[in-house]
Amino acid sequence: MTSSWLDEVKWDESGLVPAIAQDAASGRILMMAWMNREALALTAETGVAHYYSRSRKRLWKKGEESGHLQHVRELRLDCDGDAIVMQIAQTGGIACHTGRESCFYRRWENGGWRVVDAVLKDPATLYRH
C-alpha cells in the first residue's frame, strides 16, 4: 500500500490514528477506536469499517463476530491529519460491546459518570463463542 493519501495521515508513534464513527442518520457518535494503515486502506477499499485492536494487537473488522458491520458513507480527515471521522450505517443499531447503541453511555453529572443509556441487547447474545 503506497497510496499517497495514506501518507497524508499523521500516524502516531505506534502507527495508529484515532477514528470516530458517527451514525450517518442520527448524527450520534457511536464509538472511537484506532486504525493502522492497513485498517484505513481496507475501510476505504471495502466501505466497511476496519480498526486495529490495541488489546488484541491485530486488525479488527468491526462486527466480524457480532455481525454488526459498519457501512461507511463518508470518510473525513482533520486539519492536522491526525484524526478520522466516518459517517456510518450501523448494522443492528448497536456499536458497543455492552449491547448499547453507543459506547458513550456515561454522562458526567454532579461529579461522577452516570450510566444514562439502556442496554438494547444482552451482550452475551452478541458474540459467537
Contact between 9 and 40 under an 8 Å Cβ cutoff? The reply is yes
Secondary structure of residue 24 in the 3-state scheme: coil
The enclosing H or E element of 53 equals: strand 50-53
- Report how far apart the first and last C-alpha atoms of the chain are (Å, whole number): 34
Among 2, 56, 58, 111, binds its own copies (CB under 8 A): 111
Binding flag, residue 103, its own copies (CB under 8 A): yes
Q: In angstroms, give the least distance from the CB of 7 to its own copies.
A: 11
Using CB under 8 A, list all residues that contact its own copies.
3-5, 8, 18, 20, 22, 26-29, 31-32, 44, 74-80, 83, 85, 96-98, 100, 103-108, 111-113
